C-alpha cells in the first residue's frame, strides 16, 4: 500500500483534510464544573505564567478580536480555548464567517490534566459565554483523524458541519479547495 500513498503524494502534493463542527451557543447545555473552575481569561499573564509550555504558546492567540477562556483545576490552569472573529479572523479566513459568528481557533489541555473531560466542559462553557456576548454561531476545524478533539466537541454539544479538503496538485502554489457543507436540519425526528 506504500506505493499508492507515494503516488498520491506525488500527484496531489501536500494536503489538509479537516472536519468542521459548529454550535449555536443557546443550544449548548450548561456544563457541570466537576471540580473545574471555568471562566474568561482577562489577563494574558494567566497564560504566560502557566507551568505548561503548550499552554504558554497560546499567548499568540490573544489580542484584538480574540477571546480566551480557561479551566482551572486545583488552582492550576488546565486548559485554554481561544476564539477569533471579525478582522482578526479574516486574516486566516479558512471558513468564512458572517457577522455574529466566531471560530474556535485553538484549544489545548495541559498533558497533566488530559483524559478527564476538561476540554468538553471548557468548550461548552466558552460556547455559552460567546452566546452571551452576542455570537449566534461558532465554528471549529478539526484534523480529520484527531479522535480526542472530535469527541471533545461532540461531548460539548457541537455538530458536524462539513468537510474541507485542500490539495496542491502537480506542484501548485495555491491549494485546490473542496468544501462540503452539511445542511442544517430543520426538523428533528423525536
Contact present, 152 and 106 (Cβ < 8 Å): no
Q: Which residues of the chain have pLDDT under 70?
A: 1-2, 4-5, 8, 33, 183-190
Say what the pLDDT of residue 189 is.
43
**DSSP for residue 97:** -
Three-state SS at 22: strand
Determine the pLDDT at residue 167: 85
Q: In whole angstroms, what separates CA 26 from the centre of its chain? A: 18
| pLDDT at 88 (0 to 100) | 93
- Superfamily, domain 12-181: Gcn5-related N-acetyltransferase (GNAT) (3.40.630.30)
pLDDT of residue 187: 42
Strand, helix or coil for residue 79:
strand
pLDDT, position 179: 87
For 148, which DSSP code? Answer: H
Rounded distance between C-alpha atoms, residue 20 and residue 158, angstroms: 10
- Dist CA 33 CA 124 (whole Å): 11
Amino acid at each position: 500500500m506504500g506505493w499508492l500513498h507515494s503516488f498520491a503524494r506525488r500527484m496531489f502534493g501536500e494536503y489538509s483534510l479537516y472536519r468542521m463542527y459548529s454550535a449555536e451557543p443557546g443550544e449548548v447545555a450548561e456544563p457541570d464544573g466537576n471540580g473545574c473552575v471555568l471562566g474568561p481569561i482577562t489577563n494574558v499573564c494567566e497564560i504566560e505564567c502557566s507551568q505548561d509550555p503548550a499552554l504558554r504558546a497560546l499567548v499568540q492567540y490573544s489580542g484584538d478580536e480574540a477571546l480566551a477562556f480557561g479551566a482551572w483545576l486545583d488552582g492550576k490552569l488546565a486548559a485554554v480555548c481561544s476564539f477569533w472573529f471579525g478582522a482578526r479572523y479574516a486574516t486566516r479566513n479558512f471558513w468564512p464567517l458572517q457577522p455574529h459568528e466566531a471560530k474556535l481557533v485553538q484549544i489545548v489541555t495541559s498533558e497533566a490534566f488530559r483524559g478527564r473531560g476538561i476540554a468538553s466542559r471548557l468548550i461548552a462553557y466558552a460556547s455559552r459565554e460567546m452566546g452571551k456576548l452576542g455570537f449566534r454561531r461558532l465554528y471549529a476545524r478539526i484534523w480529520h483523524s484527531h479522535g480526542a478533539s472530535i469527541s471533545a466537541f461532540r461531548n460539548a454539544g457541537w455538530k458536524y458541519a462539513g468537510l474541507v479538503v485542500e490539495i496542491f496538485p502537480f506542484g501548485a502554489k495555491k491549494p485546490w479547495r473542496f468544501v462540503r457543507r452539511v445542511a442544517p436540519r430543520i426538523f428533528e425526528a423525536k
